[in-house]
């Protein structure tokens, strides 16, 4: 895993952005690591917070607990036909 390299060299001042993600259970550990790392990176790049002070928290809940328009989502299932 690549370490994040700060792109804003003088952003040393204190900061504490808190980013909370509520997603369905089912993503792989690699996906969740990438999610958190990339969220951290863009917070740093867009609002200048020092990387070391950015907190990202991921909470997972069953698909049935995510209700959109009054209808619960199904459990997350990795798509088969997506090419990367």
Q: How many residues bind its own copies (CB under 8 A)?
A: 65
Q: Which of 6, 9, 17, 78 is catalytic?
A: 17
Closest C-alpha among 6, 84, 1, 2 to residue 52: 6
Closest CB 25 distance from its own copies, rounded Å: 11
Please state, in angstroms and as integers, the Cα–Cα distance from residue 35 to each residue in 12, 13, 40, 69, 72, following that order: 24, 25, 9, 25, 23
* Distance in angstroms (rounded) separating the CA atoms of residues 3 and 71: 40
Restricted to residues 21-80, the positions that interact with its own copies (CB under 8 A) are: 21-24, 27, 29, 31-43, 45-49, 51-61, 64-74, 78-79
Q: Locate tokens 């997506």: which residue?
A: 82
Our answer to whether residue 17 is catalytic in this structure is yes
Given the rule CB under 8 A, which residues bind its own copies?
3-4, 8-11, 13-24, 27, 29, 31-43, 45-49, 51-61, 64-74, 78-79, 81-82, 84
Active site residues: 17
């Amino acid at each position: 895993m690549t370490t994040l390299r700060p792109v804003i060299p003088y952003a040393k001042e204190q900061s504490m952005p808190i980013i909370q993600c509520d997603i369905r259970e089912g993503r792989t550990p690699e996906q969740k690591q990438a999610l958190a790392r990339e969220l951290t990176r863009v917070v740093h790049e867009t609002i200048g917070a020092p990387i070391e002070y950015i907190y990202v928290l991921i909470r997972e809940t069953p698909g049935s607990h995510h209700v959109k328009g009054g209808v619960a989502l199904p459990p997350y299932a990795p798509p088969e036909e997506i090419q990367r």
